[in-house]
C-alpha cells in the first residue's frame, strides 16, 4: 500500500494492516449459536424477565417502542445523504468553531482554504478532528475543553506534501493540530461564540509538558533518555472521548496512541507491543524526524501514552496529569460516578476488537469540598466479566489475581485482563451513566472479528452474552445495573438496550432488536451521553454508504434513546463522510454542542477544504434541549 493511501485508513484498519490477526477460526459452533431474529427476541424475553427482577422492563420497552407515538420533544427526522447538517423542525444550528479558527487575535486569518494553517499559527487555532468535550463554569464564564483526536494530513498539510510529513516542521504542524483545546465561549443568543484572547484559551498538544502519578509513575517501564525519572512525559495523543470529574476538571482519553510510534531500524516486537499494536512504521512518520517517536531509540516512550489525563480548564497554568492507576489501553472515554460509600468510580472502555471494559475504584471516599489528592492515583482497577445468564462481575486486577507486578498490571492492563478471564467485547466505545438511576450503558460499536478471530492476545471472541452476533457490522449497546444499586459493588446484571441492525435487508439477528425500525435505523453506536432529563443521546461512527446492508441508514447521525421505553428517535444527521462525536451542553441546558469529525465534501464552508467543527444546536423557542 502506498504511503499516501495509509492516511486514508481508519485507525482500526491501520492497526489490522500493520498487525494482521491470525485467522484462527476455531468457531465452527458459531453458526449454530448465531441467533435468528426470532431467537433473539426469545433472548429479549429472557432479558425482560431478568430486567423485571432489576426493576425495569426490557420486554415491555421493546414491544411498546414500535407502537408508541414519539414521546420525545421533537419530531424525528429522516436519513440524509448530503453534505449538510439536519435537525428537527423547531431547532436551529450553527458552526461554533472549526479547525483553524483563531483562539487569539494574532491568529485571525491564520486559516486559508489553499494552504490550511502555518506551523507558527498551528497551536493558536482550534485543533483538527474534534472529539470528546465537556463544559465547565468558572464564576460567570463558560469554558469548553475539546479533544482533537487525530489529523487528516492530505487536508492539513500543504499540497506538495502528498499526505505525509516531509520534514520536521510538517511533523510539528501535525502535532500542534492534535491534543486538547480549552476555550471560553460567551452566550451570543444564537448558540454562543468563541471569546478571542480569553485567559482560559489554551492548546495542549503532543508537546505539552505533563506529569504522571499512580503506581506506574517512576517505574522502569516509563523511563526514557529524556526523562530518566519516568514522571515527566510530554504530550497527550489521540484524544478520543472525554470525562468530567466531580470536582470540575477535564479527563481526556488517549486512544490509538500506538500508531504514532515507528521503528527506523529492524527490531522484533515484544509480546506487550504486539498486544498493543506497536511496531512497524508510524502513521505520520514522526519517528523519521524525532527520536522520541522512534522505537529503535526510545522503546519505553509508548508506555507513557494510552492513559487518562486530567486537565484543569479553569487554570491555564496547570500541568496535565496522566493517571496510571486507571490503566493503559486504547481509552475511549471515562465516566465518573460515586459508589454508595462515596468512593470514586470511573468506567472505561478499551476500543479494539475483543478488548475489555474496565472500572477504577478509589481507595478513599470523597464529598464536595474535600481534598481530591490521591483519588485518581490510589485505587483498584477492575475488568468486566459478562456471564451468559445476564449476570456479571468486576474482577480486580491485582498482583494476587494476575501474578503480575502492579506497575505491569497498569502499563499492560490488557494482558492483566486476559489473565483473569475478562470478556472480550465488540469494541467498547463510550460509557454513559444514567443520572436518574444506578445504571450504566456502553456502546459496542461493531466487530467484524466476532466469532472469526481471536484478539491480539489470543483470547477467543465467541458469539454470545452481550456480543451475540458473528461478524457484527452494526453494533449494540449493553447496559448494566450494579448489585445493590452501588457502583462500588463487585456484581451486576446486564441486558442489551439495543441491537443495531437493518430490518429492511434482514429478517434475522442482523435486523436488530425490536426497538430498531425502518424509521430510526443506524449502525455503529459510538459517542454517548445522558442529558440531565435522563435521555440517552447516541452518536454514530459507521458506514454511511447508504448501500447494501447499510441501505436506508444514510449519513452518520445522533439519536435519542429513552431508557424506560426503549424508544429511539433520530435527532440529527451529519454531512456525508463525517462521524458525530462529542456532546456537551451549555450551563442552562439550552444549547447542545456537538462534534462533527472528518466531514467529506466541502463542509461547512462550501469551498476549499472540509473542516471538522463543533456545532451549536438549540430550540428556537428557547426551551432546554436536554
Ligand atoms: Fe476514537 Fe473509539 O473512537
Ligand atoms: Ca469514538
Ligand atoms: Ca468509532
Residue 268 has what DSSP assignment? P
Contact 601, 611 (CB under 8 A): no
Residue 462 lies in a domain: yes
Q: Which residues contact 165 (CB under 8 A, 6 or more apart)?
A: 153, 157, 171, 173, 174, 284, 285, 286, 289
Residue 624 lies in a domain: no
Of ligand 1's listed atoms, the one at least distance from the Cα of 256 is 1
Beta bridge partners of 525: 540
Residue 439 lies in a domain: yes
Can you give the pLDDT at residue 16? 81
Of ligand 1's listed atoms, the one at least distance from the Cα of 351 is 2
Residue 625 lies in a domain: no
Residue 606 lies in a domain: yes
**pLDDT per residue as tens digits for the range 93-121:** 999 999 999 999 999 999 999 899 999 99
Cα 149 to ligand 1 centroid, rounded to whole Å = 9
Can you give the pLDDT at residue 60? 31
Distance CA 426, CA 80 (A): 27
Max distance between CA atoms of the chain, in angstroms, equals: 64
Examine the pLDDT at 204 and tell me if it is beyond 90: yes
Nearest residue by C-alpha to atom 1 in ligand 1: 240
Examine the pLDDT at 184 and tell me if it is beyond 50: yes
**pLDDT per residue as tens digits for the range 543-582:** 999 999 999 999 999 999 999 999 999 999 999 999 999 9
Cα 597 to ligand 1 centroid, rounded to whole Å = 11
* Binding pocket residue ranges, ligand 1, CB within 6 Å: 149, 240, 255, 332, 351, 429, 526
ω into 604 cis (within 30 of 0): yes
Examine the pLDDT at 603 and tell me if it is beyond 70: yes
- Tell me the three state secondary structure of residue 451: coil
Cα 526 to ligand 3 centroid, rounded to whole Å = 5
Can you give the pLDDT at residue 27? 32
Can you give the pLDDT at residue 54? 32
Cα 118 to ligand 2 centroid, rounded to whole Å = 28
Distance CA 74, CA 623 (A): 12
Cell of 518: 425502518
Examine the pLDDT at 83 and tell me if it is beyond 50: yes
Structural domains of the chain, count:
1
**pLDDT per residue as tens digits for the range 415-447:** 999 999 999 999 999 999 999 999 999 999 999
Strands in 250-254's sheet, in edge-to-edge order, are: 211-213, 321-323, 308-311, 250-254, 239-244
Can you give the pLDDT at residue 247? 98
Average pLDDT on 475-490 reads 98
For 329, the domain range is 3-619
Cα 309 to ligand 3 centroid, rounded to whole Å = 20
CA-to-CA dists, residue 482 to 104, 391, 479, 486, 489, angstroms:
46, 10, 10, 6, 6
Choice among 5-9, 129-133, 282-286, 301-305 with the minimum mean pLDDT: 5-9
Of ligand 1's listed atoms, the one at least distance from the Cα of 349 is 2
Residue 41 lies in a domain: yes
Looking at the CA of 150, name the nearest ligand: 1
Expressed in angstroms, the distance from the first to the final Cα of the chain is: 46
Contact 65, 568 (CB under 8 A): yes
> What is the pLDDT confidence band of residue 41, given thresholds at 50, 70 and 90?
very low
Tell me the backbone φ, ψ of residue 204, rounded to 5 degrees. -115, 120
**pLDDT per residue as tens digits for the range 263-280:** 999 999 999 999 999 999
- Tell me the three state secondary structure of residue 205: coil
Cell of 422: 475478562
Of ligand 1's listed atoms, the one at least distance from the Cα of 427 is 2
Tell me the backbone φ, ψ of residue 174, rounded to 5 degrees. -65, -40
Average pLDDT on 299-325 reads 99
Q: How far is CA 251 from the centre of its chain?
A: 12
Distance CA 62, CA 213 (A): 45
H-run or E-run covering 526: strand 525-530
Can you give the pLDDT at residue 21? 63
Of ligand 1's listed atoms, the one at least distance from the Cα of 541 is 3
Residue 29 lies in a domain: yes
Cell of 243: 470525562
Average pLDDT on 358-375 reads 98
Mean pLDDT across the chain, nearest whole number?
A: 92
Cα 181 to ligand 3 centroid, rounded to whole Å = 20
CA-to-CA dists, residue 388 to 50, 57, 110, 255, 501, angstroms:
12, 19, 55, 29, 22
Looking at the CA of 238, name the nearest ligand: 1
**pLDDT per residue as tens digits for the range 228-244:** 999 999 999 999 999 99
Of ligand 1's listed atoms, the one at least distance from the Cα of 238 is 1
Cα 527 to ligand 2 centroid, rounded to whole Å = 6
Which CATH number is 570's domain given?
A: 2.120.10.30
C-alpha angle 596-352-2 in degrees, rounded to nearest 5: 75
Looking at the CA of 428, name the nearest ligand: 1
Distance CA 310, CA 212 (A): 10
Residue 101 lies in a domain: yes
How long, in residues, is the chain? 626
Distance CA 417, CA 449 (A): 19
Average pLDDT on 451-457 reads 97
**pLDDT per residue as tens digits for the range 505-554:** 999 999 999 999 999 999 999 999 999 999 999 999 999 999 999 999 99
Cα 541 to ligand 3 centroid, rounded to whole Å = 5
Please give the full DSSP string across 477-515, using - where no structure is assigned. Answer: EEEEEEGGG-TT-SEEEEEEEEE---TTT-SSGGG--TT
Contact 551, 584 (CB under 8 A): no
Tell me the backbone φ, ψ of residue 618, rounded to 5 degrees. -145, 165
Examine the pLDDT at 37 and tell me if it is beyond 90: no
Cell of 149: 483526536
Amino acid at each position: 500500500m502506498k504511503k499516501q493511501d495509509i492516511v486514508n485508513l481508519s485507525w482500526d484498519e491501520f492497526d489490522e494492516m500493520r498487525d494482521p490477526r491470525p485467522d484462527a477460526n476455531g468457531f465452527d459452533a458459531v453458526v449454530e449459536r448465531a441467533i435468528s431474529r426470532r431467537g433473539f427476541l426469545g433472548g429479549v424475553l429472557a432479558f425482560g424477565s431478568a430486567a423485571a427482577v432489576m426493576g425495569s422492563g426490557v420486554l415491555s420497552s421493546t414491544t411498546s417502542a414500535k407502537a408508541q407515538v414519539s414521546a420525545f420533544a421533537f419530531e424525528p427526522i429522516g436519513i440524509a445523504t448530503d453534505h449538510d447538517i439536519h435537525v428537527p423542525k423547531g431547532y436551529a444550528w450553527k458552526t461554533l468553531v472549526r479547525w483553524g479558527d483563531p483562539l487569539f487575535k494574532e491568529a485571525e486569518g491564520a486559516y486559508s482554504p489553499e494552504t490550511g494553517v502555518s506551523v507558527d499559527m498551528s497551536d493558536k487555532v482550534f485543533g483538527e478532528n474534534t472529539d470528546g468535550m465537556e463544559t465547565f463554569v468558572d464564576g460567570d464564564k463558560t469554558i469548553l475543553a475539546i479533544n482533537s483526536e487525530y489529523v487528516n494530513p492530505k487536508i492539513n498539510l500543504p499540497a506538495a506534501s502528498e499526505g505525509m510529513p516531509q520534514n520536521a516542521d510538517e511533523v510539528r504542524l501535525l502535532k500542534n493540530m492534535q491534543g486538547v483545546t480549552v476555550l471560553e465561549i460567551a452566550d451570543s443568543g444564537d448558540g454562543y461564540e468563541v471569546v478571542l484572547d480569553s485567559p482560559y484559551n489554551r492548546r495542549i498538544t503532543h508537546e505539552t509538558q505533563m506529569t504522571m502519578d499512580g503506581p506506574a509513575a517512576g517505574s522502569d517501564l516509563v523511563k526514557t533518555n529524556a526523562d530518566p525519572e519516568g514522571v515527566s512525559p510530554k504530550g497527550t495523543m489521540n484524544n478520543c472521548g472525554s470525562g468530567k470529574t466531580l470536582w470540575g476538571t477535564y479527563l481526556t482519553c488517549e486512544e490509538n496512541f500506538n500508531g504514532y510510534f515507528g521503528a527506523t531500524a529492524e527490531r522484533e516486537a515484544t509480546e506487550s507491543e504486539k498486544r498493543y499494536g506497536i511496531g512497524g512504521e508510524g502513521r505520520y512518520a514522526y519517528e523519521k524526524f524525532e527520536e522520541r517517536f522512534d522505537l529503535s531509540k526510545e522503546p519505553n516512550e509508548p508506555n507513557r501514552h494510552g492513559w487518562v489525563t486530567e486537565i484543569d480548564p479553569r487554570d491555564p497554568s496547570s500541568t496535565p496529569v496522566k493517571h496510571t492507576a486507571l490503566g493503559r489501553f486504547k481509552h475511549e472515554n471515562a465516566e465518573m460516578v460515586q459508589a454508595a460509600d462515596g468512593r470514586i468510580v470511573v468506567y472505561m472502555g478499551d476500543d479494539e476488537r475483543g478488548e475489555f471494559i474496565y472500572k477504577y475504584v478509589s481507595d478513599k471516599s470523597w464529598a464536595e469540598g474535600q481534598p481530591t489528592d490521591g483519588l485518581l492515583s490510589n485505587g483498584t482497577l477492575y475488568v468486566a466479566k459478562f456471564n451468559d445468564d445476564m449476570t456479571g462481575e468486576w474482577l480486580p486486577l491485582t498482583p494476587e489475581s494476575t501474578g503480575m507486578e502492579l506497575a505491569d498490571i497498569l502499563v499492560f492492563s490488557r494482558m492483566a485482563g486476559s489473565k483473569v478471564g475478562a470478556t472480550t467485547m465488540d469494541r467498547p466505545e463510550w460509557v454513559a451513566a444514567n443520572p436518574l438511576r444506578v445504571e450504566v450503558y456502553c456502546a459496542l460499536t461493531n466487530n467484524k472479528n466476532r466469532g472469526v478471530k481471536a484478539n491480539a492476545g489470543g483470547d477467543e471472541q465467541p458469539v454470545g452474552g452481550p456480543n451475540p452476533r458473528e461478524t457484527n457490522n452494526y453494533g449494540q449497546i449493553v447496559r448494566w445495573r450494579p448489585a445493590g444499586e452501588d457502583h462500588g459493588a463487585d456484581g451486576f446484571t446486564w441486558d442489551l438496550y439495543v441491537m443495531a441492525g437493518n430490518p429492511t435487508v434482514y429478517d434475522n439477528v442482523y435486523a436488530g432488536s425490536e426497538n430498531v425500525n425502518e424509521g430510526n435505523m443506524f449502525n455503529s453506536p459510538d459517542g454517548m451521553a445522558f442529558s440531565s432529563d435522563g435521555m440517552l443521546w447516541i452518536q454514530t461512527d459507521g458506514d454511511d454508504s447508504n448501500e447494501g446492508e447499510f441501505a436506508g441508514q444514510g449519513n452518520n447521525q445522533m439519536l435519542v434513546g429513552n431508557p424506560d421505553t426503549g424508544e429511539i428517535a433520530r435527532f440529527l444527521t451529519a454531512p456525508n463522510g463525517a462521524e458525530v462525536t462529542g456532546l456537551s451542553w451549555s450551563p442552562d441546558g439550552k444549547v447542545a454542542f456537538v462534534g462533527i469529525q472528518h466531514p467529506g465534501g466541502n463542509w461547512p464552508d462550501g469551498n476549499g477544504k472540509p473542516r471538522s467543527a463543533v456545532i451549536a444546536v438549540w430550540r428556537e423557542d428557547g426551551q432546554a434541549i436536554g
